[in-house]
Chain A
Amino acid sequence: MSAAPRPSVACGTAPTAARTIIAERGQREVFCGLTGIVWLHRKIQDAFFLIVGSRTCAHLMQSAAGVMVFAEPRFGTAIMEEKDLAGLADANDELDRVVTQLLARLPDVKTLFLVGSCPSEVIKLDLARAAQRLQGERTDGVRILYYSGSGIETTFTQGEDACLAALVPELPASAPDAPPSLMIVGTLPDMVEDQFARMLAQMGIERVSFFPARNSRTLPEVGPNTRLLLAQPFLGETARLLEGRGATRLPAPFPFGADGTADWLRAAANAFGVPPATFETVIAAPRARARKALGGPRRQLEGKSIFFFPDSQLEPSLARFLHEELGMRLIEVASPYIHRDHLAEELARLPQSCRLVEGHDVDAQLDRARAAKPDIIVCGLGLANPLEAEGFTTKWSIELVFSPVHGFDQAADLAGLFARPLVRRDLLKV
């Protein structure tokens, strides 16, 4: 059971390359990659994320995280000041000082990420070198890595991609004769991970790892026998580097919704030679449960039209789910970036009638949304209240990234996120 047979796409349509994607270049209205730290620091429980940036970066983190995680979080910003900009040597000394202090104060931290920002990149502060240097000076085994979360390089969820990509070279190599193993790539809530692990175990797929792991010391192995199943659609660079280490990506749609999750798991089952009957038995109950649970939100959402502003790169996958499983009408699906390969299965399942847009031009998008009068608009927090005030119903996209939405048992929760604003609008008499 070594070679992975290409899984068939559930709905039977072959991925088509001939999908028109409209490119848009204008003002963006989206977070930078630093924001990924908000969920990454909760997942990787022994890591600290040190942004080397400006007061703006610190303020962004505070505003995006909310003061919700007030109790000393495992992230912080080394704010560069006038004197750091004057000479780069000073900036390096200053960085050493901050890092030494920080690690002395937080002995539980096993991995320190130096996270680059726009200012650190514009002044060409070489944080990759700094990470190497700092690593070399340490004897306590704390790993020091660098990635860029800057807004000039990364958009929102791309920050996670950059972080995981920085970890890839650290992964131990698996033995060349190791039996095939499955690596699920992308941050998932622990609960969701456990659900997937249970089902895969029931199918007889024993060697399963999750990347990132909950603990940065237990990095999964990678090698030619590793099969990758991406849990998030925004991991282009991470997947490329893992493939560079010999791993093979299993093409699949993403695990949103009952069908999406089934197809995603099927890609793994096929690759590991799980008998179809076993596969069906394992997923039967949870899939039936998911379908049943989707009945409620479906009553709210069926036939309703939806318009996505670009935000997290989850847009095409979510649109597929809302269209196929909840009967929503897709007007426009805009995404900051559309990975043609990783999203091939999803794009093939989107109706031709929906406008597929890559990139931003916020004012033009607002004009189109207003003209299209969708029943619900998915957008960032900066746009949601103003659109509500104009009479639109909105779903703020950040919740789609912060809540558990993958897998069978979260399918109805995911649908509920879209249904609730509509239900509320019907409910209110104010």
Chain B
Amino acid sequence: MQLTVWTYEGPPHVGAMRVATAMKGVHYVLHAPQGDTYADLLFTMIERRDHRPPVTYTTFQARDLGTDTASLLQGAIEGAYERFKPQAMLVGASCTAELIQDDPGGLARALKLPVPVIPLELPSYQKKENWGASETFYQLVRALADTSLKPPPLEGRRPRANLLGPTALGFRHRDDVTEITRLLDGLGVDVHVVAPLNATPADLATLPQADFNVVLYPETAETAARWLERNCRQPMIKTVPIGLGATRAFVAEVVALCGLDPALAADPPGSRMGWWSRSIDSNYLTGKRVFVFGDATHAMAMARVARDELGFEVVGMGCYNREFARDVRALAAEFGLEALISDDYLEVEAAIASVSPELVLGTQMERHIAKRLRLPCAVISAPVHVQDFPARYSPVMGFEGANVLFDTLVHPLVMGLEEHLLAMFRDDFEFNDAQGASHLGGHGASAAPEAVAPAIPAAAQIAAASTVDPSREAALGGAAGEPVLRLVWSSEAERELKKIPFFVRGKARRNTERYASDHGVSEISLETLYDAKAHFSS
């Protein structure tokens, strides 16, 4: 038993959902109790997906146990097929159903549905989300790829590649795929199939017709790519093109593999990261101490970018997915560090605190840790929250990805300077301590609670008698020349105000004071507070 509060990875069936949701024409029947339907909101809320994940849950209850959970499951599979008419189905169990052993695969086979049904065995008490995604994609490829197909002769056509690994809920997967597709196109290479993202089962059947596979996200695609390598003799490119150096290496590999003109390997004109980093303004980045944590692929790539492309000093690194621990340990050793392999965020927090970095690169967990430790932070890996799915184009792969990374990694530091200034001038009246650094406040619940409190005009503050706590007093119409009306809050009303959630408290205070002054009330009582509330909501 392991005591956990926040987790980096969900259970393995959530990984399966990331694959199923990314694809088209697939439906997943999950034998699971009702509460497990929460997983839908990961996709519809965090990623703002405009469709429900293609998942039917059996939502069995205690009274079904031992009687007819199996027929419930069979009915759900049949019903889902009828309603959604998928090209292929996945069936499996979540942690609870795994314990009741209803054999989803066997029950589905007995239905003799006219489409491939792929049973998933995802051991919930041993494995986690990334493993589940990888296993699901591998099972799909194994079941659906037509190994009798081959790429047509290369003469007279451009080479073609499959891009493997992008899923739903992935960190920047949407834009990485676009960027790498453009990059390959520039080299004269076509993309044959992208999978799982937006692929259909029919697309998976044709995977063997590509000349080679690009493993964009080893966490999800390496197992499947190895199987294709063995069974279809498709070579794979494993260099993950995150950062300038890795992108150049990736391009060189593709050029060599396809026998293309080496001149193609030069950086395109839009590649700015190198110059931005060499330009003298970036001098101040030198030796910034950075801590890197995330999934193995992103953590390793970002550590290289930090050291080799921005001149930072990497003072700590690690990953939460044990499957790739060996690679991360090896890289860390190269950096003279010992890798932290852990999915316990408290351990990660302790590690960060102990090396006191100047910048943290991590997941949403590290963002919260950094916020607590008041350190600048950039998010570079899943799991991420809604604001890390930007509306704009922002890949982290390829040359444009490298540009994006320059901005992403440097921006929090610039803001860090601002914070430094704030600390220096916090006693000056313009620099109200409650304001906080702009990038640390403003978002989320732990932002400085009173950041929305009314700014107190300097004149009023000076006018305030020293015995009066300025935060308890408001000056209205404080512009030069206008009379200043003093408002006093009764202690009862003040106490009531404190009960209002902090993120609307400032507004409540302002509105009440405006109401009071409009109505010539000088002492704000409990009644005034609620009268004002009614006034502004009507």
User: Interface of A with B (CB < 8 Å)?
Assistant: 27-35, 50, 52, 54-60, 62-64, 67-73, 75-82, 84-85, 91, 94-95, 97-98, 101-102, 118-119, 121-123, 150-153, 155, 189-191, 194, 285-286, 289-290, 292-297, 360, 363, 380-386, 388-389, 409, 412-413, 416
Contact = CB atoms under 8 A, between A and B. Distances in A.
B59 A416 contact: no
A294 B535 CA distance: 10
Contacts of A381: 40-41, 44-45
Contacts of A122: 65, 96, 99-100
Nearest to B49: A385
A78 B534 contact: no
Nearest to B99: A122
Contact of A27 (B14, B59, B531): B59
15 contacts: A29-B40, A55-B128, A62-B7, A63-B42, A68-B445, A75-B5, A77-B4, A82-B125, A98-B3, A118-B33, A190-B499, A293-B534, A296-B538, A384-B45, A386-B51
B84 to A, nearest CB: 9
A285 B232 CA distance: 79
Interface of B: 1-7, 9-11, 13-14, 33-42, 44-45, 48-52, 56-62, 65, 76, 83, 94-96, 99-100, 123-126, 128, 364-365, 368, 372, 385, 444-446, 496, 499-500, 527, 530-531, 533-535, 537-538
Contacts of B50: 385-386, 388-389
**Consensus secondary structure, chain A interface:** helix
Contacts of B56: 27
Tell which of A102, A150, A385 has the most Cβ of chain B within 10 Å: A385
Contact of B125 (A54, A63, A285): A54
B501 to A, nearest CB: 8
A290 B531 CA distance: 9
B35 A34 contact: yes
Contact of B10 (A55, A72, A386): A55
A60 B13 CA distance: 13
A416 B534 CA distance: 12
A151 B537 contact: no
A28 B59 contact: yes
Contact of A286 (B13, B128, B444, B530): B530
A191 B500 contact: yes
Contacts of A79: 1-4
Contact of B35 (A32, A289, A416): A32
Contact of B52 (A34, A76, A286, A383): A383
Contacts, number: 221
Contacts of A31: 34-35, 37-38
Contacts of B33: 32, 118, 150-152
B37 A28 contact: yes
B53 to A, nearest CB: 8
B124 A54 contact: yes
A121 B57 CA distance: 19
B35 A27 contact: no
A290 B96 contact: no
Given A68-B445, A122-B65, A385-B45, 15 more contacts: A57-B35, A60-B36, A79-B2, A79-B3, A82-B126, A84-B1, A118-B95, A121-B62, A123-B99, A150-B33, A152-B61, A191-B500, A382-B38, A386-B49, A412-B534
Nearest to B530: A409
A28 B55 CA distance: 12
B38 A63 contact: yes
A207 B126 CA distance: 53
A101 B41 contact: no
B538 A119 contact: no
B530 A58 contact: no
A152 B32 CA distance: 9
Given A27-B57, A383-B44, A59 B14 contact: yes
Nearest to B37: A29
Contact of B34 (A70, A151, A194): A151
Contact of A98 (B1, B39, B372): B1
A30 B40 CA distance: 10
Given A27-B56, A55-B10, A60-B35, A191 B2 contact: no
B6 A62 contact: yes
Contacts of A78: 1-4
A29 B100 CA distance: 21
B350 to A, nearest CB: 13
Contacts of B61: 152-153
B388 to A, nearest CB: 12
A346 B159 CA distance: 69
Contacts of A383: 40, 44, 52
Contacts of B128: 55
A12 B83 CA distance: 46
A155 B38 CA distance: 12
Contacts of A30: 34-35, 37
Per CB-CB distance, the 10 closest pairs between chain A and chain B, nearest first, are: A32-B35, A382-B40, A151-B35, A389-B50, A151-B33, A191-B499, A118-B96, A54-B95, A94-B1, A381-B41
